Amino acid sequence: MGSFIVRRLIQTLLVTLALSFVSYSLMGLMPGDPLDIACQANPHCTPENLVTMKKTLGLDQPVYVRYGKWLAGIAQGDLGYSRTYRLPVTQILGPRLVNTLFLSGTSLLLSLVIAIPLGVFTSLRPNSKFDYSLNMFAFAGISIPAFWLGLMLIIVFAVKLNWLPAGGTETVGLDAEMGLFEAAFDRLKYLILPVTSLSLLTIAFWVRYTRAKMIETMRHDYVRTARAKGLSEQRVIYMHGLRNALIPVVTVVALGISGIFSGAVITETVFAYQGAGKLIFDSILANDYNVAMCSFIITSFLVLFMNLIADVAYAYLDPRISYA
Amino acid sequence: MSSNATLAVAAHAVSPVEAKDPRAKSMVRIAFEQLLEHRIAVLSLGVIALFCGIAVFADVIAWAMNLDPNAQDILNRYGEFSREHWLGTDEAGRDVLIRLVYGTRVSLAVALLTTVSATIIGITVGSVAGYFGGFIDTVLMRVTDSLLALPTIPVLIIMASIDFTKIPWLGGVVPSDMVSIVKMVLVLMVFSWMTQARLVRGEVLANKDLEFVLAARTSGLSSGAIILKELLPNVLSPVIVSVTLSVGSAILYEAALSFLGLGIQPPTPSWGNMLNNAQELIYSAPWLAVIPGILILIVVMAFNFLGDGLQDALDPKAIKR
């Protein structure tokens, strides 16, 4: 088990490294060069100046040399400087990541609490009316474009009904004197719509999966044995059925975390929620490469790391699997 | 959709021995009859056929209705539903209905091309990894797993924001109005072959040591021929299901990227980029934000239901008779 974790950890780091190199090279292929833009804004800048500037900044060197330097900087904790925010990247990224973790965490928790009980409940009444409608709902949930769902929620609950804010993270210009409880309530108001739009897909997916796995598990011989022993139906379902059915669900939940993080980019953009995902998107549009690179790579690393944790949890939960 | 044809191929693969008894049903028949029993799947097939028809005959529709998807009418921005403009007009006074028709063509074409090319990559990678095993398998599967583990949307955003005209060999080949479409297909393709690869590898691994493969090898068939003629036919039914489902997700990804302004570039309409200025639409013309999304929802749902129906129909274990 120990060596398995080490191996997976090394693999995760290697993938992150490869990803950072690929995205570093791709940044050079994006439209708009920050130096060209700066030069165009300055009437005293001649093409010769531009060449000299690129030379002094080392931009005439091949990609791998520049990447090496950039990586060395990262290793020393220097994530670079943001062109648009005029701040070191570390200062911008920190609070944004906290916001994203907040959004994704809430969505994950909500999805788990709703999807798994619902999946188990409906699996015990296969082909009932409830099961049928839930199945329809789940299909709609996996087929709906998340950004569009967000737009619809805004139209209904923010524009027409005016119940909730259309976007943002917290009320701007709020007094610092406001109590902790009020501040939390304010944040919550801004979270409701994004979390709803982010969770629906996950819930739909997990309900279907939990239901399928639960029905499959309840067909096993050991469930029949448990019934034959005269155990109560409750005990059969929860101790013998559910516990076994949940093992594969763990993997799917872990993949779902990646999905939530990924979907958060779109949700954050639709709701103007100040998270790391919106930061990736905004900084790419603004040619702010340092910010784009760091927020992208850190987000990806977090996702890869959560996948690793899920793999370990899976190996731990299912004694039939050994990762010697 | 030539779903009958694909079904036929699949079922042919499953039954190498043709039935002589006239009363006996071929696997194609059984699979098709099973699919017909799945009412929602049949309905979905109809919906998909309808939208494919719209996509193919977009020019005819435009001609019949005497509408041009790019004709602007600045005096008639956000026009109401009317006799000339059944679904109103957009921010440039263009007819929404005909733009939706052409958007259908673009969105479906991108999704289908993506899926077809991704499936070819997936089948190749999966069968090579599964058949040859060893070092090739390890390398290919590590790459597959790594790509699968990445957060899709951020990666797609990075990829889609590349200026493809900066890539020398690509910039010259593609006509300028097609660049964003080609780019979208390439970008989505790179990140959608992994599921198929895993699926194919699993099936190839399960079958490659069975007697019929051994027989083929003994009779002197080359590795390539064994993969193509003996192993792949057995994988077809799960692959068909997975392909159907991935058309749906390709539509969703294209829509999301186009919505963000990184996918299909205007003036070419796609369902996603018609929602591009949705933040403005929400207040000025909410129905314009509603309609393209409903089309996406309907078509993606149809592909998902069809995939579900095909899964039941093609799974030999699920056959009731």
Contacts of A145 in chain B (CB under 8 A): 252, 255-256, 259, 272, 293, 296-297, 300
Residue A138, chain B, CB below 8 Å: the answer is: no
pLDDT mean across residues, chain A: 81
- How do residues A153-164 score in pLDDT, each as one tens digit? 988 888 888 787
> Which of A140-149, A180-189, A255-264, B140-149 shows the lowest per-residue confidence on average (mean pLDDT)?
A180-189
pLDDT of residue B188: 92
Which A residues in the span 259-298 are in contact with B, Cβ-Cβ below 8 Å? 259, 261-263, 265-266, 269, 277, 280-281, 284-285, 292, 296
The amino acid that residue A209 corresponds to is Y
For residue A14, give every residue at least 6 positions away whose Cβ sits within 8 Å of its Cβ, in sequence order, or none: none
Q: Per mean pLDDT, which of A108-122, A245-259, B5-19 is the most reliable? A: A108-122
**Per-residue pLDDT for A63 more than 60?**
yes
pLDDT band at A144 (very low <50, low <70, confident <90, very high): very high
Distance CA(A176)–CA(A190), nearest Å, equals 18
Residues B306, B41: contact at Cβ < 8 Å? yes
> In tens digits, what is the pLDDT along chain B, a chain of 321 residues?
344 444 444 444 444 454 456 666 677 777 777 777 778 888 989 999 999 988 888 787 777 777 777 766 666 666 676 666 666 777 666 777 888 888 899 999 999 999 999 999 999 999 999 888 888 988 898 888 888 878 888 888 888 887 776 666 666 666 767 788 888 898 999 988 998 898 889 888 888 888 888 888 888 888 888 888 888 888 888 888 889 989 999 999 999 999 988 888 878 888 888 888 777 777 777 788 888 899 999 999 999 999 888 888 877 655 444
Contact residues, chain B, for A63 at CB < 8 Å: none
Helix axes B96-132, B179-190, angle to 10 degrees: 40
| Distance from C-alpha of B250 to C-alpha of B300, rounded to nearest angstrom | 9
Q: A129: burial class by Cβ within 10 Å (0-12, 13-18, 19+)?
A: exposed
Of B173, B181, B168, B163, nearest to A26 (Cα)? Answer: B163
DSSP A198-266: HHHHHHHHHHHHHHHHHHHHHTSHHHHHHHHTT--HHHIIIIIIIHHHHHHHHHHHHHHHHHHHHHHHH
A–B CB contacts, 8 A cutoff, strictly below = 127
Res B50: pLDDT: 92
A288 phi and psi angles, rounded to 5 deg: -95, 80
Q: Quick one: which of A244, A246, A226 has its CA closest to A236?
A: A226
Cα separations in angstroms, B110 against A269, B122, B247: 24, 18, 9
B45: closest CA of chain A, how far (Å)? 16
pTM of the model: 0.83
HSE toward the beta carbon, residue B111, CA cutoff 13 A: 32
How far is residue A125 from each of residues A129, A130, A279, measured CA to CA in Å? 9, 8, 45
Among left, alpha and beta (phi > 0; psi -120 to 50; other), residue A207 is: alpha
Amino acid at B123: I
Residue A101 amino acid letter: L
3-state secondary structure of A88: strand
pLDDT at B294: 92
Which residue did the predictor score with more confidence, A61 or A215?
A215
A90, A79 in Cβ contact below 8 A? yes
> What is the mean predicted confidence (pLDDT) over A168-174?
68
What is the total residue count of chain B? 321
Burial, A110: exposed, middle or buried (Cβ in 10 Å; 0-12, 13-18, 19+)? middle
The tokens for B69 are 């998807």
pLDDT given at position B171: 60
Verify whether the Cβ–Cβ distance A139 to B301 is below 8 Å. yes
pLDDT digits (tens, 9 = 90+) for A28-60: 777 667 677 777 777 777 777 777 777 777 677
Is residue A254 predicted with pLDDT exceeding 90? Answer: no
Give residue A230's Cα distance to chain centre: 45
| Chain B interface residues (partner A, CB cutoff 8 A) | 142, 146, 149-155, 157-159, 161-164, 166-167, 248, 252, 255-256, 259-261, 272, 275, 278, 282-283, 286, 289-290, 292-293, 296-297, 300-301, 304-305, 308
Q: What whole-number distance in Å separates Cα of residue B261 and Cα of residue B64?
A: 31
Decide which of B185 and A181 is more confident: B185
The complex's ipTM works out to 0.82
Check CB contact of A148 with chain B, cutoff 8 Å.
Answer: yes
What pLDDT does B321 receive? 41
The SS3 call for residue B96 is helix
pLDDT at residue number B318 = 54
- Residue B74 has a pLDDT of 67
- Does the structure show a pLDDT above 80 at A120? yes
Q: Tell the residue number behind the tokens 């975390």, with chain if given.
A: A257
Higher pLDDT, B256 or A180: B256
Paired tokens of B95 = 């007819």
Q: Are A165 and A189 within 8 A, CB to CB?
A: yes
Provide the phi-psi class of B82: left if phi over 0, else alpha when psi is between -120 and 50, else beta: beta
* pLDDT value, residue B220: 86
Own/partner contacts of B133-139, CB < 8 Å, gap of 24 or more, are B133/B205, B137/B201
